[in-house]
Every structure is written in C-alpha cells, then in structure tokens.
Amino acid sequence: MIPSLITFTILAAAVLFIIGFPLLAVPSKIEKGFRAFPRDRITGLVTIIAGGGWFLWKISQLGQSDFGDYKNLLIILFAATLIGSIFYVKDFLAVRGVSVLILLSANTGLKSAFGLYDIPERLVLVTILYIFIVLALWYGIMPFKMRDTVNWLYKSVIRVRILGIILVVMGSSLLVAATQY
C-alpha cells in the first residue's frame, strides 16, 4: 500500500524534525547516544530485522512477471542473508539497518510522488529523498564512515547544530510543499 503524497510528505517532515531538533537544541545531551548509535547492538537488531522483514515482504508481493517461479528461492536466499548478517556481520549493524530502512522508505515515497506531474512541489520531496538515497548507499556500503562522520561532527558543536538546522529546514520545506499540493 502506497500512502498519498501529502501523507508521506508530512511523515517525512516529522521524521526530519524528530532527528533535527535535538541536534539543533541539545547536541551535548545526545552526544553519548549519537556516538553509540553505529555499533549499538539493540538498535542494529531492531533496524536490520525491520528492514529485512519489510524487504522479504516486498519480495513476497512480486508478481509472476517479476521473478515468477523464483520468488520462493529469493525469499529463502534473502532470509538466509538476513539471518547470517545478524550473526556474522555484527559490526555497524545499526548503520546497515537504517540504510535499508531509508532505501525502502524512499522507494515508497518516490512511488507516492510518481506520475503527479501536475504538482511540481512534489520535487521538493523527491530531491530530499534522492539525497537520503545517496547517503544510505554510501553509509550502507561503508558503515564505518558513519563513525567517522559522528566523530567529525562532534569535534565542534556548531557542526552538529548546522546538521540540525539542515534537517529542520528540510522538514520545514516539506511542510511548505505539502500545503501547496
């Protein structure tokens, strides 16, 4: 089920606000959790299971024209990969899990905006989604870069606040675009 464009846009804005406001307002209070995130085992398990489950569900919904006779084989292969990654790729599992969730969410958002060519404001959402797709691919391929990014951000609190400002501005622009749909 694909949400409407306005619903997805408002949800995306809410997520950006939820992440952006603490970075902007109280960066020192969330530093410990922010630094622990890339290697946090519980967060890793929750995000990779949620992302993997969502991906397996999407494969189960494939039609005959997509992979037809191989759908069950694909489900088994990717389920084994999910289980194997939980047990054998423990390092930076949270980064990988969030990357999967971002990619699947972006897919849903792009589908909600697809074909609505008479609404040019949808391009605000599409542009932000593509930025996050690139970041999810980057950090998904090299998850240790998230640790390096967090360390770089916290060398100066102003950097963390600038990231918070960027996220809040993105969320605000999504809300403004949603009022124009």
- For the stretch 132-164, pLDDT in tens is 999 999 999 999 999 999 999 999 999 999 999
Q: Tokens standing for 25?
A: 């307002």
Q: Which helix (H) or strand (E) holds 103?
A: helix 93-113
pTM of this structure:
0.92
pLDDT (0 to 100) of residue 64:
79
Residue whose C-alpha is closest to residue 139's, from 114, 107, 102, 180: 102
**What value does the mean pLDDT take over residues 69-79?**
90
Residue 89 has pLDDT above 90, yes or no: no
pLDDT above 80 (res 68): no
Residue 49 confidence class, pLDDT cut points 50, 70, 90: very high
Across the range 66-91, mean pLDDT stands at: 89
Percent share of the chain, pLDDT over 70? 100
C-beta separation of 96 from 136 below 8 A: no
Check: CB of residue 119 under 8 Å from CB of residue 128.
no
With cut-offs at 50, 70 and 90, classify the pLDDT of residue 70: confident
What is the length of the chain?
181
